[in-house]
Structure 1
Amino acid sequence: MKLLSTLLLSIFCLTVFAQEETEGYKFETVYDLEATCVKDQHRSGTCWSFSALGFFESEMIRIGKDPANLSEMFVVRHCYADKAVKYVRLHGSLNFAGGGAFQDAVYVMKKYGMVPEEAYTGLQYGEESHVHGEMDAVLKGYVDAVITNKNKKLSTAWKNGFDGVLDAYLGAEPTSFEVNGKSYTPQTYMKEQVGLDMDDYIQVSSYSHHPTYEKFVIEVPDNWLWGEVYNVTIDDLMTIFEHSLENGYSIGWAADISEKGFSHTKGMAIVPESDSKEMSGSERSKWETMTRADRNKMLYSFDKPVKEKEITAEMRQEAFDNYQTTDDHGMQITGMVTDQNGTKYFKVKNSWNTNNKYDGYFYASEAFVKYKTMSIMINKNALTKDLKKKLSIK
């Protein structure tokens, strides 16, 4: 099909934000990396695809490629198709839903290639934005029916039928398309236009139920590929965040944002200190006389910096073990700022459109990132030499 150019800079909203100042927060930029514009996953559970491809779009910019708008639904389609095969093979003993993880995008790009958004929007079902409730339910019902069928064996038609449902909702996979008058396949577009080596990308986490500096399969429901992460200490993890940004590498960030301390509207994510034992005498006295409503108003008004918890590895592990930190959301970290008290915040590109205070971005405090990070995806070259050696990465 004939496509308009995907390289118009005006489409992609490269962002370099200056100092922000609003309602008591005074942010000074430390690092601010280029990124393509904020997109909208709308009513779909595909944050992992949006954040992963946003990360790779920034990687393309980093190596000197023109800005691109890669197709999130191309990744979603292939993951659903291959996840269905695994789900059926495992007799349904696998999480089958629209969720996923960063390694899913790596998997698709290595195996199937990539296409620009214009070649595959995934909007073939009468909606202008992604609304996947019906599709998710139909696909789940289909594979469950295949597993529970009374024929005592699988038919030769079930996979074609499943692909037909994907075609109906997302559209048939493009086998060839044109960009700027040149014809591509998904494989040649990946090689010539994206130009990234997928073997350069790794995932890193930090939990104590597995040995440090070894790889493990992270135990989250959406990890249908059983992807491995490198396990490091919490101090190592925070070093990776800053070292990556300092050297021009953005970060794919898988985290839990279900806390009270996260506000999309206000564009903030914090972990306020609410334990009176950690307060000074006068602070404690005032705290203990306040109502619960007044305490919450003070902690979560997001109108000025507040004292935050000191996060430990033990707190991270307890939250993970007790389902308080889950595979909740995928985002991209593109920068870092400090407030007037010197507290660090990471600048986070979300995929919930631009209808908040910071045009679709938010600022997550160092404490929040330290506490609620599940895993990150980085270019392995963003690691320090010391960590590369500890992880046996060349």
Structure 2
Amino acid sequence: MKKTVMTFVLAGMVGFSALAQDDLINSLKGNQSLTAKEGFQFTPVINLDRTSVKNQGSSGTCWSYSGNSFLESEMIREGKEPVDLAEIYTARCTYIEKAKNYVRMHGNLGWGDGGALHDVVNMYDQYGALPQEVYNGLNYGTDINRFGEMQSALKGMLDGIIKNKNGQLTPNWIKAFTAVLDSYLGEVPETFEYKGKTYTPKTFADEYIGLKADDYLELSCIPNEPMYEKVFFPVPDNWSFDYTYNVHMDDLTAVIDNALKNGYTVGWATDVSEKSFSWKNGVAYVPEMDYKYMTSEEKETMFNGPKPEAEVTEAMRQEAFDNYTTTDDHGMQIVGLAKDQLGKEYYIVKNSWGASNDYNGYLFVTKNFVKYKSTAILVNKNAIPKKIYKG
């Protein structure tokens, strides 16, 4: 997932659960632009605690923002005061591990900002975590993430290392690579003070945050693979070659519904390239008619109120994945459930593009869209119905 946004910068301060919920509720009450908000009337049914909306800036780190936001909500759910986790620390750790595989694969692996939701849990387990106030990743004179120059430098360096004429690699290349990350993102402190106690990144994760990586499971729906077991997750940003737990399409929303009902938020990886996904209007759905067959008037009124949706099948889902109309674009967090004025249910989704749309950084997504366009979800194992995952 590597969707990048450069507009509407937010300060990096955390806002705790009540404030985050109020941001959404206030957006439903007023300050409306002349958009879909005139035609939709959303009423929250489940509105779970979470931290405030952040902005990933000009970086494809949505997976880290959504995954860390998910962990922050897990802290809240467990009755802990949430920490504003350093998303770029997680990304930095990921780039080190990705670089190792990139070199091992002689460059035959995608390189860039992109990652997956499982990377957040994996890096948390391997490297620990840092608070945002300790590591903001802005060591190069900007107030938001701007990774273009850094990633060009990193890829050029790795490609040069692979093509070296010495006939073999020395271990020094990892030190050199890390030094570049230090230059752009800042050095990682060996120890730091937080609320009167000294931690390392690992002890901070283990002792202060206290979440267990083994409690989380990534699920997907790949119909042509065995069901209810782990299968390879075939997306370009799966640089770590992880496996996901494979379920039927309807199971995805059944898991999300069960999670929300029981107080668990969900990490969501999805395609956002569809014309029926509108960030500005804050709505995503599956139109009955393909966009290319719509009249000009139908295109212009796609978001002027609730619309009938196409029925989605697993065959449709797999075809879209195989023909590249579903791609692993973006990661967000599902934090609640709402109904429109006709009683139809939508998931409330927290994004990481700042408070830059009609709903202060949130989106309302139909269940059909989630079934059709999800590439994976990340959830606490305890939130999964036993008939789907016995664990």
Establish whether TM, by shorter chain, passes 0.5.
yes
Amino acid at match of 1:13: L
After TM superposition, the structure 1 stretch with the greater mean CA deviation from structure 2, 43-52 or 185-194, is 185-194
Identity of aligned residues (%): 46
Q: Write the distance in 2 (CA, Å) between the matches of 1:236 and 1:180.
A: 42
Is residue 29 of structure 2 the alignment partner of residue 14 of structure 1? no
Letter in 1 for 2:309: E
Structure with greater Cα Rg: 1
Structure 1 Cα separation of the partners of residues 297 and 52 of structure 2: 38
1:275 Cα deviation from its structure 2 partner: 6.2
Q: Matched residue pairs, number?
A: 370
Instruction: Give the 3-state SS of the residue equivalent to 2:388 in structure 1.
Output: helix
Q: From the superposition, tell whether residues 59 and 193 of structure 1 become closer, same or farther in structure 2 (CA, over 3 Å).
A: same
Q: CA RMSD in A?
A: 2.0
2:311 paired with 1:296: no
* Runs of 4+ residues over 3 Å off in structure 1: 6-14, 16-22
Q: How far, CA to CA, are the matches of 1:268 and 1:377 in structure 2?
A: 22
Instruction: Give the stretch that moved more between structures: 324-333 or 365-374.
Output: 365-374
152-161 or 329-338: which moved more?
152-161
Do 1:12 and 1:37's aligned partners in 2 also have CA atoms closer than 8 Å? no
> Is the 8 Å Cα contact of residues 7 and 68 (structure 1) preserved in structure 2?
no
Answer yes or no: is 1:157 the counterpart of 2:172: yes
What secondary structure sits across from 1:160 in the alignment?
helix
Measured after TM superposition, the shift of residue 181 of structure 1 is: 2.1
Is it true that 1:32 corresponds to 2:35 in the alignment? Answer: no
Aligned-residue offset at 1:218? 0.7
Separation in structure 2 between the aligned mates of residue 10 and residue 326 of structure 1, nearest angstrom: 32
Q: What pairs up with 1:224-243 in 2 under 5 angstroms?
A: 224-243=239-258
Query: Who is 2:343 aligned against?
Result: 342
| Alignment correspondent of 1:223 | 238
Partner of 2:87: 72
2:132 aligned to 92, 96, 117, which one? 117
**1:283 aligned residue:** none
Identify if the C-alpha distance between structure 1 residues 155 and 245 changes in structure 2 by more than 3 Å, giving closer, same or farther: same
**Structure 2 vs 1, CA of residues 143 and 210 (structure 1 numbering), >3 Å: closer, same or farther?**
same
Deviation at 1:8, TM superposition (A): 7.7
Secondary structure, counterpart of 2:379 in structure 1: strand
Distance 1:295 1:80 in 2: 44
Instruction: Measure, in 2, the Cα distance between the counterparts of 1:100 and 1:275.
Output: 30
Counterpart mapping for 1:251-262 below 5 A? 251-262=266-277
Q: Are the counterparts in 1 of residues 128 and 204 from structure 2 also a CA contact under 8 Å?
A: yes
Shift of 1:27: 1.3
- When normalised by structure 1's length, the TM-score is 0.90
**Superimposed CA distance per residue, residues 108-148 of structure 1 (whole angstroms, 9 cap, x where no aligned partner):** 11111111001110000111000101111110111000001
Distance 1:7 1:260 in 2: 32
State the distance in 2 between where 1:43 and 1:151 align.
Answer: 37
- 2:205 alignment counterpart: 190
What residue identity is the alignment partner of 1:321? D
Residue equivalent to 1:272: 287
Q: Is 1:245 matched with 2:251?
A: no
Q: Which runs of 5 or more structure 2 residues have no equivalent in the other structure?
A: 1-11, 30-36
Give the unaligned 5+ runs of structure 1: 1-5, 277-287
